[in-house]
């Protein structure tokens, strides 16, 4: 286990002085900051809450719910929280720990006897803390859950067929299905469904009346993507079929202001009936190292060390402890941030995906509050994203050249058509759709091109630009396909 050391040896001229912090944000200056960020990142609408201790310094909206329409974003506009749902699930676990119904280091099999990982020893020794800190060894495998209509329990049971990408407890690997397992542990220990428990044990006591385990029918913002001209376009909302402890909670900034106050001061007597106290603060303590290298370092230039707790990222920022979490789902980006020593909390909900505005704006507001050295976060993160796109393209092209060298020859596309199977992902098919060759996995589809030499590929965001390597037996018949990208799985031929 690795403890986060809040260092003070960042560039001293850049470190904010808490003594110079503002009593509250200047509304006109705040509007200017937010509108500049929205313009730079082309975000149609954003909702923001800023709290200090028990006080709400600001809560409200900017821009519109849907591009081309006039309905404004307000403090009550509802957004999907995506992965920020995870700190609701860890908070629910904290309430059960506080009531003596659960322990952070309980073996998962104590509550879910059927739970297993591909490594039997890891499955038997896996603890609740492991699930919530992303250190089970199971890689992301996002396409196991993404757009799946299967109940969370079914997904968790199939996870045992996923080979461990890293040694058990050996590394931080963001993993949403294991958070589903954590929610099921809470259900077993608390004797009620995850969604009912979140409402009864957390939202109702905190009077968070516009927070839901599943999307409501009204009051929702519309998500947006970016079209070929670089402009925002409406996209369909993610269709949550089942409640998901890793990502299905929806809320508004008026409620999240209460959530942040609770997270920063859970021992306050007004939360006594929640039975959380110090147990909630346990979720904000470092458990596993989140390596600060590559793009991660570029995104956080004023951070020396970064870790993950249980539903929260913990890092130093300009010499202060910063606790935060992001979330992203079709058409939306979410960010929650807290500076615990000053009880400053910020929630930013944006109706545009694949943007770094939320992180940029959160850092700008923290700098503004503490009077830190000015830094153009919009320009900096915009440059990081642009460079990452160029570097990714160069790397991908090099990978294709290397693969062609290792796999010369040609490929008869008709030979790969048929049904395939993976024990965790289930059935997949490769078929002809007009002139296209299409890979289908449940509700997910991607059109493939042939690179030659037994290589198929696609330029696709959902699958993360996958490459499909065709495996043949001694007689030259196709026996399997090995997928890279987000899928990272080998599918065996079944017909």
User: pLDDT, tens digit, for every residue of 71-108?
Assistant: 999 999 999 999 999 999 999 999 999 999 999 999 99
pLDDT at 24: 62
Identify any residues that bridge with 48 across adjacent strands, giving them in sequence order: 60, 348
Q: How far apart are CA 159 and CA 426, in angstroms?
A: 12
pLDDT at 14: 39
Question: What value does the mean pLDDT take over residues 308-312?
Answer: 98
φ, ψ of residue 53 in degrees (nearest 5)? 60, -125
pLDDT at 278: 86
Token pair 């789902």 is found at 329
Local confidence band at 11 (pLDDT 50, 70, 90 cut-offs): very low
Give all strands of the β-sheet with 313-317 in edge-to-edge order: 55-63, 45-52, 344-350, 332-339, 320-329, 313-317, 306-308, 288-289
Local confidence band at 493 (pLDDT 50, 70, 90 cut-offs): very high
Local confidence band at 6 (pLDDT 50, 70, 90 cut-offs): very low
The pTM of the whole model exceeds 0.85: yes
DSSP character for 287?
-
H or E, element range at 472: strand 467-472
The alpha carbon of 223 is separated from its chain's Cα centroid by a whole number of angstroms, namely: 16
Beta carbons of 211 and 251 less than 8 angstroms apart: yes
- Which residues of the chain form CATH 2.40.128.50? 407-493
Q: What is the pLDDT of residues 194-226, one digit of tens each?
A: 999 999 999 999 999 999 999 999 999 999 999
pLDDT at 452: 80
- Higher-confidence residue: 397 or 146? 146
Enumerate residues 6+ apart whose C-beta is below 8 A from 232.
42, 43, 44, 67, 224, 225, 226, 352
Lowest mean pLDDT among 12-21, 251-260, 417-426, 436-445: 12-21
Lowest mean pLDDT among 6-20, 133-147, 339-353: 6-20
Q: CATH number of the domain at 407-493, out of 2.40.128.50, 1.10.760.10, 2.60.120.10, 3.90.1150.10?
A: 2.40.128.50
- Does the structure show a pLDDT above 90 at 434? no
- Does the structure show a pLDDT above 90 at 416? yes
pLDDT at 42: 97
Question: What value does the mean pLDDT take over residues 289-315?
Answer: 96
Q: How far apart are CA 409 and CA 401, in angstroms?
A: 13
Q: Which of 106, 126, 195, 114 is nearest to 154 (CA)?
A: 114
pLDDT at 207: 96
Reduce the DSSP state of residue 303 to 3 states and report it: coil
pLDDT at 383: 96
pLDDT at 122: 98
Identify any residues that bridge with 491 across adjacent strands, giving them in sequence order: 481
Local confidence band at 21 (pLDDT 50, 70, 90 cut-offs): very low
- Which residues of the chain form CATH 3.40.710.10? 12-375
Beta carbons of 489 and 445 less than 8 angstroms apart: no
Q: How far apart are CA 104 and CA 399, in angstroms?
A: 43
Q: Which of 225, 248, 250 is nearest to 235 (CA)?
A: 225
- Does the structure show a pLDDT above 80 at 10? no
User: Would you give the end-to-end CA distance of the chain in angstroms?
Assistant: 48
Q: How far apart are CA 470 and CA 468, in angstroms?
A: 6
- Quote the radius of gyration of the chain (alpha carbons, Å): 23
Q: How far apart are CA 300 and CA 287, in angstroms?
A: 20
Domain 12-375: which CATH class? alpha beta
Q: How far apart are CA 404 and CA 455, in angstroms?
A: 8
Beta carbons of 301 and 380 less than 8 angstroms apart: yes
- Higher-confidence residue: 409 or 213? 213
Mean pLDDT, the chain, integer? 92
Beta carbons of 468 and 457 less than 8 angstroms apart: yes
Question: What value does the mean pLDDT take over residues 52-58?
Answer: 95
């Amino acid at each position: 286990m690795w403890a986060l050391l809040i260092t003070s040896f960042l560039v001293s001229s850049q470190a904010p002085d808490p003594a110079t912090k503002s009593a509250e944000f200047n509304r006109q200056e705040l509007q200017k900051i937010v509108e500049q960020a929205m313009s730079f990142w082309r975000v149609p609408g954003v909702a923001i809450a800023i709290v200090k201790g028990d006080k709400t310094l600001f809560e409200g909206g900017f821009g519109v719910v849907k591009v081309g329409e006039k309905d404004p974003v307000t403090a009550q506009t509802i957004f999907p929280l995506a992965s920020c749902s995870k700190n609701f699930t860890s908070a629910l676990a904290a309430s059960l720990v506080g009531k003596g119904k659960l322990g952070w280091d309980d073996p998962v099999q104590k509550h879910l006897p059927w739970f297993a990982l591909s490594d039997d020893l890891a499955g038997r020794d896996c603890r609740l803390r492991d699930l919530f800190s992303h250190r089970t060894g199971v890689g992301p495998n996002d396409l196991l859950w993404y757009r799946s209509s299967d109940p969370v329990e079914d997904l968790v049971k199939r996870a045992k067929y996923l080979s461990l990408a890293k040694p058990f407890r050996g590394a931080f690997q963001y993993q949403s299905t294991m958070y589903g397992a954590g929610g099921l542990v809470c259900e077993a220990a608390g004797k009620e469904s995850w969604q009912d428990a979140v409402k009864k044990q957390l939202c109702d006591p905190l009077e968070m009346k516009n927070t839901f385990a599943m999307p409501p029918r009204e009051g929702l913002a519309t998500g947006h993507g970016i079209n070929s001209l670089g402009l925002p376009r409406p996209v369909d909302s993610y269709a949550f079929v089942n409640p998901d402890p890793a990502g299905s909670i929806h809320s508004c900034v008026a409620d999240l202001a209460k959530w942040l106050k609770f997270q920063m001061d859970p021992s306050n007597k007004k939360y006594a009936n929640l039975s959380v106290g110090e147990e909630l603060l346990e979720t904000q303590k470092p458990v596993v190292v989140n390596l600060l290298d590559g793009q991660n370092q570029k995104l956080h230039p004023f951070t020396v060390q970064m870790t993950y707790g249980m539903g929260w990222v913990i890092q130093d920022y300009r010499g202060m402890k910063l606790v935060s979490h992001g979330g992203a789902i079709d058409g939306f980006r979410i960010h929650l941030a807290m500076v615990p020593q000053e009880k400053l909390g910020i929630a930013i909900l944006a109706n545009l995906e694949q943007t770094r505005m939320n992180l940029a704006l959160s850092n700008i507001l923290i700098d503004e509050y503490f009077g830190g050295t000015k830094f153009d976060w919009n320009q900096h993160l915009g440059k990081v994203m642009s460079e990452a796109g160029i570097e990714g393209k160069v790397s991908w092209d090099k990978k294709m050249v290397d693969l062609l060298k290792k796999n010369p020859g040609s490929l008869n596309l008709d030979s790969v058509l048929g049904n395939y199977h993976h024990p965790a992902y289930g059935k997949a098919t490769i078929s002809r759709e007009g002139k296209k060759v299409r890979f289908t996995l449940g509700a997910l589809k991607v059109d493939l091109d042939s690179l030659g030499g037994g290589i198929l590929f696609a330029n696709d965001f959902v699958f993360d630009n996958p490459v499909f390597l065709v495996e043949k037996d001694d007689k030259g018949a196709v026996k399997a396909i090995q997928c890279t990208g987000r899928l990272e799985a080998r599918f065996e031929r079944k017909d």
